[in-house]
A and B are shown apart, each in its own frame.
Chain A
Amino acid sequence: MPPLAPDGDGAPAGVTRREFTTWLGTGAALAGLSGCVREPSEAILPYVHSPGSPITAANFHYATSMAIDGAATGLLVTSRDGRPIKIDGNPEHPATLGGSGAQHQASLLQLYDPDRARYCVRGNRRTGWDALAAACNPAALHVRTGARGAGLSLLLEQSSSPLEAALLARFRQEFPDARVGVFAPLATHGAIDASTALFGAPLIPQYDFTAADLIVSLDADFLAGDPFSLRHAHDWAIRRRRQPASILHVAETIPSPTGTMAINRLAVAPDEITSVATALLATIAAATPAERVGESRALPPRTTAWIDSVAAALRAHRGRSIVIAGPRQPPLAHGMAAALNESLGNVGSTVWYTPSPFIDNYTLPRGDDALAHAVDGDIDTLIITAANPCYGAPPAHNLSRRFSAIRTTIYLGDYRDETAAAATWHAPAAHYLESWGDGRAWDGTVSTVQPLIAPMYDGRTAAELLALLIGESATGRALLARYHPDAARNDVLQLGFIPGSAFERRMPRVAHRALLAMAETLAPARSSSSLLLSITPSAAVYDGRFAGNAWLQELPDPATRLTWDNAALIAPALSTRIGIGSGDVITLRTSAGVIDAPALVVPGHADGVISLALGYGRNGTGLVERGIGCNATLLRSNASSFVEHLTLTRTGRHQDLATTQQHWSIEGRRDEIIGPPAGAPPPERPALPLYQSPAPDPAGLGRDQWAMTIDLDLCTGCSACVVACQSENNIPVVGRAGVLRHREMHWIRIDRYLDGSLDDPAITVQPMLCQQCEDAPCEYVCPVTATMHSDDGLNEMVYNRCVGTRFCSNNCPYKVRRFNWLAYNDPNDELAKLRRNPDVTVRARGVMEKCTFCVQRIRHAQREAELAGAPRTGAVVTACQQACPVGAIVFGSLTDPSSPIVASFNDPRGRSSLGELGTRPRVRYLARDRRDEVDRS
């Protein structure tokens, strides 16, 4: 409002209050009139030069690969009119065989992330690649760092790219004295150190889970959390389907997807795994020198019982078993696993060894050594391609402050993150969907990276930055063709990998003397009163590199169902002992630092240890990750994932945790909800349908009748399907506040049910999605018939008819309908428009939505068949089914005799969830076989 007039009579100068109100009212009235005007016509923008064969508005698929910490996974990316819109596993690539993980699926969101760095920055000034090229061409670098590059230092991302290897070799010719190190916060080298000591060569173990009758996992989440887990899960599922099914014993800390599938799970602190492995070896191979390793530690009775039962099982499956140690474990645990596999005769059949896929095969300094090596001494120029080391480095390295002593620090990164803020230059990194390159899968298979779209934000790859350093002018495909011509061939790019390029298998012998020497290093047992901090990768944001990804932030953690946060995970027993409950904020203190974190009690978590996920508590400029969680790195004294002497203090504060499931007990209703265990007699229960209506008239039924089964004997709860569905169906995120109000929008939720004691529960996961009931309770109550039944058995949702009464959701017994409480999809977000699936309506505020069985894919398949003038052949694959690494989801038409759904839907293990209601779901759950499980009582 205008200021008071200077004459002081109190009347304001300019517009009077009355005039202001008049204009306000007129404005509002005129604004209302604008609704009467027809919207202007949409523009149609044809090509200037037609690209030839590709038709418009059709999907095309291209093979590429994505590397996380250097291990490449082959992907098949769907492109619509030049825009990548969906990511799936490459069915022919040995690292996936068709499945994909949540992080692969969600990487699409990051391509279109408005937070990504868009241009080169020097200091705080915007500049360009030309300026950067002038600063780091070989001539300029020689002037600054000496003839042999003594003042030059490279801190690289862990990489498996032969292209980068070739460029690095050239770089070392040009700058022989330059320092090169590799840093990734979660990179581990226990297996390599063990192999170097025991075999005399740096090798990593590889496994064939299709041939393993018995698997013993020692802190290894091989089904969901290792670089080759898509393939492991695929192979494990093949063997699991064959009767008698393979047996899985797991010793681990957090109930991981792998532990969920175990018949015998031991909750144990991660630093006790070595003792467990040692005791196991002593029990199995009493005649080997390992017996002298002995039981150096007194183990609790539950652990001893686990070891005895596992040892007995291992003896019974010699040559057909696998002992696998987790990547975070120290060399001794890997050594013991290697010795166990050797003495059981597994090496050569289910286990073998290969070099690692990384370009240096662990010859370059790594972890703490790399950080110290990179910044110590007289360094003039430091070039960083590692992912955000200023966040991921343990605080003792004080990396940000060390940067200021270096004249030029150049950081190639995709976000303006902590490292970008500390570096003098920040260059935008290209997303892998914008890049030409290559890499190796965990088994060594050479995989190609080809772009789906031109760089959106002027980003370049690490290889292109390396090329600048050696004065190589080629970029993109030309660079690949010059340094790795095999990977730039059209036939290879089309396939996505070079067939047969996996490493040769090696079967080295364990040097038992070396094993004994290693065993001498076994540290004395932690006292039972001392707590251990276990720093874990986040199942969603990994080491923080996906922290800006809202799909992953909102993905419920498989073990805890926690979203948008990390928490100090504690066992129920510990929680009772120290009087801390879920949501109580505690102060964690180690020798390295102090942070506050909310506690979260996790049934099945090991006692005496607190787990905290890395990747949260970020200080960058990203809108998504800001202010979320706490930074576990601050508690690390070195690159090890385990920090001893943790102390806890209560703060008295409480923090709400955005978990999507608060109640874990199935309350004795197992039979109704997930079905009795396979093999158990069917429940004797009178059918008392709540909803009674005549069966549908067969004459009114369509040609196809769609149905789905989900095999709970295979589903690990890895959550890849959740993100795949989100990507396919344009599902929005609601943010932390939304999840706290239970407004999450995922069309699939993974329910987790616990039986038995909280310390050692039997865990069952059940993906819950719209059951497409033949007699759907939601349909009766919609006042505007916005949800209808199709003649091919789909419970359809017509978004444009929905007026948002939410009656349907109230009447749904499965609670799978999701309501758009707010306008989660911004209609003016141009970047999101590029990303969305154009075949699925973007829902507005006030509209109900739910799983449609990917009706757009069904209709597309029917369309293709009709256009071809032939009956539909092949399967319709839903997004969740396509992503599932274990193939737990079967989908198809019950009227199609060639479809596997017919047999699967009639499997004797099949149960309808809440079938007694009489809703006749078109989704059936194949019950988990728990006959072999150990008695938990």
Chain B
Amino acid sequence: MPAAFGPRATPIARRIVALAVAAAVIAPIVAMVWVRTPWARGEHRTIVQPVPFSHPLHVTALGIDCRYCHRDVERSTQAGMPSTTTCVACHSAAMLATSVFAPVRHSLATDRPIRWLRVTQLPDFVYFDHAMHVDHGVACETCHGRIDQMPVVSQAASLSMHWCVECHRNPGPALRPLALVTAMGWNGRTGGDPLIREYRVRSLTNCSTCHR
């Protein structure tokens, strides 16, 4: 009866053990790196909305301010989405008759809301407040990116806690004059100390600032 293990058995076994150990070390590292990549965080992911709404057309070509549609942004924690009637108020009947407006027509006819899909989605345990940011000089662009250049809106920032806290520790560089919070592509001097004083901005790093 031949031997159960040949002369190569030992080196093979060693290699298997070495591979297993390497995999046990590398796999968590790969996973931890992966969750920090933009792909894992959903950045630049395209989401198909029920109506192919174009921000470039409305913001750049027509020059409509963000707050015309997202009207609660200066008062509420939520920016607010436009009601169906807000869309219909501007668009002519002829335009509304086209096929891309079918969900709008359907919404009006059935009195059911248009089902938009959330692009910038924070976890439910984070209490983000739009008004507190916008009213203290943090621009739309800072978090949402160049919306005016996104025919299809995608998430522009990592939305990681690190990204939030960086700014909460040192809010100065993110500030700009209130008159320009909705401006896109603004490259003037960032606010810093004078705006921190003027808008009474504080570094808020208590856990309960965001987690309640």
Contacts and interface: CB of A to CB of B under 8 A. Distances in A.
Interface stretch (A350-358, A752-760, A790-798): A790-798
A38 B39 CA distance: 11
Interface in A771-830: 788, 790-792, 794, 796, 798-800
Contacts of A48: 83-85, 107-108, 111-113
- Taking each of A47, A792, A842, which has the highest tally of chain B beta carbons within 10 Å of its own beta carbon? A47
Interface in B110-125: 111-119, 121, 123-125
B119 A41 contact: yes
A863 interface: yes
A46 B82 contact: yes
A56 B83 contact: no
Given A43-B117, A852-B212, A49 B132 contact: no
Contacts of B121: 41-42
Nearest to B209: A859
Contacts of B117: 40-44
Given A46-B80, A57-B78, A855-B212, A38 B42 contact: yes
A41 B49 CA distance: 10
A849 to B, nearest CB: 11
B207 A47 contact: no
Nearest to B84: A48
A841 interface: yes
A859 B81 contact: no
A863 B132 contact: yes
Contact of A46 (B47, B76, B81, B131): B81
A41 B47 contact: yes
A840 B127 CA distance: 9
Contacts of B98: none
B77 A57 contact: yes
Interface in A827-859: 839-842, 852, 855-856, 858-859
Interface in B52-110: 72, 75-78, 80-86, 107-108
B42 to A, nearest CB: 7
A521 interface: no
A49 B84 contact: yes
Contacts of B129: 863
A782 to B, nearest CB: 12
B10 interface: no
B135 interface: yes
Contact of A49 (B72, B77, B85): B85
A277 B72 CA distance: 64
A693 interface: no
A824 B138 CA distance: 39
Interface string B198-212: 001000001111011
B203 to A, nearest CB: 10
A42 B121 CA distance: 8
A298 interface: no
Contacts of A867: 75, 131-132, 135
- Taking each of A40, A41, A47, A839, which has the highest tally of chain B beta carbons within 10 Å of its own beta carbon? A41
Nearest to A854: B212
Contacts of B84: 46-49
A50 interface: yes
A43 B127 CA distance: 18
B183 to A, nearest CB: 21
Contacts of A858: 208
B75 A45 contact: no
A55 B80 contact: yes
Interface string A11-47: 0000000000000000000000000001011111111
A57 B125 contact: no
A40 B121 CA distance: 11
Contact of A852 (B108, B131, B208, B209): B208
Nearest to A44: B116
Contacts of A58: 75-76
A796 B206 contact: yes
A866 interface: yes
Contact of B124 (A40, A55, A790, A841): A841
B209 to A, nearest CB: 7
Contact of A800 (B80, B111, B123): B123
Interface bracket on A: 35 or more
Nearest to A791: B206
B44 to A, nearest CB: 13
Interface in B129-187: 129, 131-132, 135-136
A47 B113 CA distance: 6
B83 A49 contact: yes
Contacts, number: 115
- Taking each of A45, A55, A791, A841, which has the highest tally of chain B beta carbons within 10 Å of its own beta carbon? A55
Contact of B118 (A44, A57, A800): A44
Nearest to A863: B132
- Taking each of A44, A792, A852, A866, which has the highest tally of chain B beta carbons within 10 Å of its own beta carbon? A44
A841 B211 contact: yes
A866 B132 contact: yes
Contacts of B115: 43-45
Nearest to A81: B78
B107 to A, nearest CB: 6
A869 interface: yes
Given A48-B108, A50-B86, A57-B78, A43 B212 contact: no
Contacts of A841: 124-125, 211-212
Contact of B116 (A43, A798, A866): A43
Nearest to A47: B83
Contacts of B111: 48-49
Contact of A840 (B85, B119, B123, B212): B212
B93 to A, nearest CB: 18
Contacts of A792: 206
Contacts of B85: 48-50
Given A48-B85, A866-B200, A42 B118 contact: yes
A798 B207 CA distance: 7
Interface string A860-879: 00010011010000000000
Contacts of A800: 123, 125, 211
A791 B200 CA distance: 18
A56 B135 contact: no
A74 B156 CA distance: 49
B45 to A, nearest CB: 8
Contacts of B116: 43-46
Contacts of A41: 47, 117-119, 121
Contacts of A790: 206-208
A528 B113 CA distance: 73
Contact of B80 (A40, A56, A788, A840): A56
A855 B76 CA distance: 18
A55 B75 contact: yes
Contacts of B47: 41
Contacts of A866: 132, 135-136, 200
Contacts of A869: 200
A46 B208 contact: no
B208 A44 contact: no
Given A38-B42, A790-B207, A841-B125, A46 B113 contact: yes
Nearest to A790: B206
A55 B72 contact: yes
Contacts of A45: 113-116
A799 B125 contact: yes
15 contacts: A41-B119, A42-B121, A46-B81, A46-B116, A48-B84, A48-B85, A48-B107, A55-B75, A790-B206, A794-B208, A798-B211, A799-B125, A852-B212, A866-B135, A869-B200
> A-B pairs with the 9 shortest C-beta distances?
A46-B81, A790-B206, A50-B83, A41-B117, A45-B113, A47-B83, A800-B125, A42-B118, A44-B116
Interface of A: 38, 40-50, 55-58, 702, 788, 790-792, 794, 796, 798-800, 839-842, 852, 855-856, 858-859, 863, 866-867, 869
Given A796-B208, A800-B125, 11 more contacts: A38-B45, A44-B116, A44-B117, A48-B107, A49-B83, A798-B207, A799-B211, A841-B212, A859-B208, A866-B132, A866-B200
